[in-house]
Structures are given as C-alpha cells and as structure tokens.
Amino acid sequence: MVVSPDPSPGADPAAVGAWLAQQLGDPGWRDCTLQPVGAGRSNLTYRVDSPAGAVVLRRPPVGQVAATAHDMGREQRVISALAGTAVPVPRVLATSAGGPPVDAPCYVMELVDGVVPLGDLPAGWATTEDERERISRALVDVLVALHAVDPAAVGLADFGRPEGFMARQVRRWVTQWEQARAGGDLTDPDTAAELSRLAEALAAAVPSTQRHGIVHGDYRIDNCLFDAADPGRIRAVLDWELSTLGDPLADVGLLLVYWRQADEQPVWRAAQYLPGPTRLPGFLRRAEVAQAYGAGSGLDLAPLPWYVAFGAFKLAVVLAGILSRVRAGMVPASMAAGLDGAVGPLVTLGRHVLAEGLE
C-alpha cells in the first residue's frame, strides 16, 4: 500500500477504535492509529493499526458528492459476493450504514499485503520484462474471470439493470457533466462544445451488448493489489464503488484509456494526465491487452473503439467534476493536483478513437 503524506479528514481514531472494539470483540482496537491510503480523489481509505491487528476502513468522500457514486453498501456487497470466486477480493469484517464510527456509511475489510503500482513501479519490484508481461496478463485474466461470474449464482441478480446499460451510462455521464458545469466548471467553451458533440456521437451509435455481467466500473492497474514476491499474481481487486451489472466491454474500454505504451501517438500521450507504469518495457501494448481479453472472454471486439471513446468521455466528466468541486471549495485542493487541462485532451482522444480506431 502507498500511504498519502497528508492527513485526510473523515475519520477520528477514538471513534473508529471504540467501534472496532465492539464490532470485532477485542478491546485492543481502542488504541488505534489511522493513516490515509491513496490519493483520496474518490472514496476515502484508511489503514487502521492497533495492538489487536491492522484493517482497512472505507468511507465516502467528505463534502458534497453524488450519493450513488459512493455507495458503501453496494461496494461491500459486491466484495462479499465475490468471495470464493476466481476474483481475488478482501474479506469484509464489519459494516455501518451511518452514524458511528464516521457519521457516514462505511465498512472495514481485511488488510491484504502487497503492491499497488501508483505511478512508477516500486524499486526492486517487477524489474524484468517477463514480470511486467505477467502483470499485464494477470490484469486481463482477472477481468475475464470477473466477467465470467454468473451474478445470480453469487447473489447479485438484482445488483443492477443490465438491459440498456450503455445507453443509460451515456445519459448518466451527460447529467454528471451538466452538474459539473452548473457547479462552477471552468472548461473553456470550445472544449465544452466538443464534449457535448462526443456525447451526442456516442448516444447515436451505442453497440448491442453481447453479454451481461458484473462490471467493476474503474478497473485499472492501480486498483489492483499485486503479490510482493510474485508480480504475476493479483492478491485483491480494490475500489468497487462504481460496480454494477452491465456490459463487460465498458471495463475493457476504460482500462485501455488508462493504459500507456512507449510509442504513443500525440493524441494518446496528450490525454494521459493520470500516472501509470505500463509504458515500461515488457508491458503489453493496448492492442495486445485487447487481444488477450478477446481470447479469454470470447467476445467480439469489433465495437471496442466505441467503448474506449466512452471511457475517455466518462473519465473527462469525472475529472471535470473533481475540478468543479475543488473550485467550489467542497473538497481539498489536493484532489485536483495535476488535473488542470486534462478534460480537453480526453475529449479529443474520445473523438479520435470513435473516428479512427485504437491506433
């Protein structure tokens, strides 16, 4: 795990310790410390250490946010449901629908040791090209495994409305974009117009869904925890706040938006504001990631450019929303670090991929 250097609001150690002592039946939790984990742009994550052991606490962001995007109950439900499947997830230990310990819905899960590749790879880890290829293939294999899970078989038959999923997703993120603009988004008029045109183009050409399944919603390398001794093994998939039932290719499209490679076209390189290590030698190229997923899932990847374009659109709206909330003073300015100017290049990438394909 990578620990943030700055404290984050949202969890008081005394309240968390008292609640854990009651929930887990061990007074040793009362004397606990909390460390924020990760960048804190989404749900807040804390490592909790005490004489009784160590766990991880998840809660929604502090400040005004879209409630449906930070549903702790949904997140802990899907993690609990996937326990025992081929998808590695942490074990949920305790939940709260509100009130103690953080005056908001939250849950506690087991602490899984390992490596989350945030930006650069840790020194001495995955140093060979073979290990980096195995990381790539592990990412694909786990995503294929997730999309192969029968939702009804794990108690998730009512976890979402898969029929019409992608059309609703386009409408949902158009609504999020409108809210960001109303809340003080400062995107220049040309970029705003291009984003609206991209949304219209996506809405006019929604592909037919080939298979319904459990969708993670934000599947990427730094939402996975890898084995410290075996980079080709994912020990846990994290950050399930956007999970639902829908079109599996939505996960693939967004994964490819996040993916970097060494010899990028300028339109791809310009859109890569978020850190990621996949440009290093050994990692698969985007086309190879897609090919591996297609081989494992059996899905037809002919419509994949649409899903990549949608992923660029969705990420552009997510970042616009973050910038809007920061500028309105709803969340700390640190949440927008490095994101100024990110919306326009993502919109350009989306329109490029929709028109020209993945290269």
What is the domain partition of the chain in residue ranges? 13-110, 129-356
The mean pLDDT value for 295-312 works out to 98
Mean pLDDT estimate for the chain: 91
70-96 pLDDT tens trace: 578 889 999 999 999 999 999 999 999
The predicted pLDDT at position 6 comes to 40
Question: Token pair for residue 71?
Answer: 């549903």
Q: How far apart are CA 195 and CA 343, in angstroms?
A: 9
Q: Which CATH architecture has domain 129-356?
A: Alpha-Beta Complex (3.90)
pLDDT band with cut points at 50, 70 and 90 for residue 308: very high
The mean pLDDT value for 317-328 works out to 85
φ/ψ (deg, to 5) at 50 = -155, 170
The mean pLDDT value for 276-305 works out to 97
The mean pLDDT value for 59-77 works out to 72
pTM for this one? 0.92
Question: Token pair for residue 313?
Answer: 């659109």
The predicted pLDDT at position 185 comes to 63
Number of C-alpha atoms within 13 angstroms, CB side, residue 263? 4
Looking at the predicted structure, is the pLDDT value of residue 40 above 60?
no
Q: What percent of the chain has pLDDT over 70?
A: 93
The predicted pLDDT at position 1 comes to 41
Task: Write out the DSSP string of 68-105.
Answer: GGG-HHHHHHHHHHHTTSSS--PPEEEEESSSTTTTS-
How many Cβ atoms are within 10 Å of 152's Cβ, its own excluded? Answer: 10
pLDDT band with cut points at 50, 70 and 90 for residue 46: very high
Buried b (16+ CB within 10 A) or exposed e, 8-27: bebbebeebbbbbbebbeee
Question: Token pair for residue 121?
Answer: 């790879």
**Strand 213-215 versus strand 92-96 pairing type:** unpaired
Is the Cβ–Cβ distance between 11 and 63 less than 8 Å?
no
The mean pLDDT value for 232-245 works out to 96
Looking at the predicted structure, is the pLDDT value of residue 323 above 50?
yes
Instruction: Tell me which of 3.50.50.60, 3.30.200.20, 2.40.50.140, 1.10.10.10 is the CATH number of domain 13-110.
Output: 3.30.200.20
110-159 pLDDT tens trace: 999 999 998 889 999 999 999 999 999 999 999 999 999 999 999 999 99
Looking at the predicted structure, is the pLDDT value of residue 7 above 60?
no
Q: How far apart are CA 273 and CA 251, in angstroms?
A: 19
Looking at the predicted structure, is the pLDDT value of residue 278 above 90?
yes
Instruction: Say whether 129-356 and 13-110 share the same fold.
Output: no
Q: How far apart are CA 349 and CA 311, in angstroms?
A: 10
Is the Cβ–Cβ distance between 212 and 245 less than 8 Å?
yes
The mean pLDDT value for 248-254 works out to 98
The predicted pLDDT at position 340 comes to 85
Q: How far apart are CA 285 and CA 25, in angstroms?
A: 49
pLDDT band with cut points at 50, 70 and 90 for residue 3: very low
Looking at the predicted structure, is the pLDDT value of residue 160 above 50?
yes
Q: Under DSSP, is residue 322 helix (H, G, I), strand (E, B) or coil?
A: helix
Q: How far apart are CA 321 and CA 98, in angstroms?
A: 25
Looking at the predicted structure, is the pLDDT value of residue 2 above 50?
no
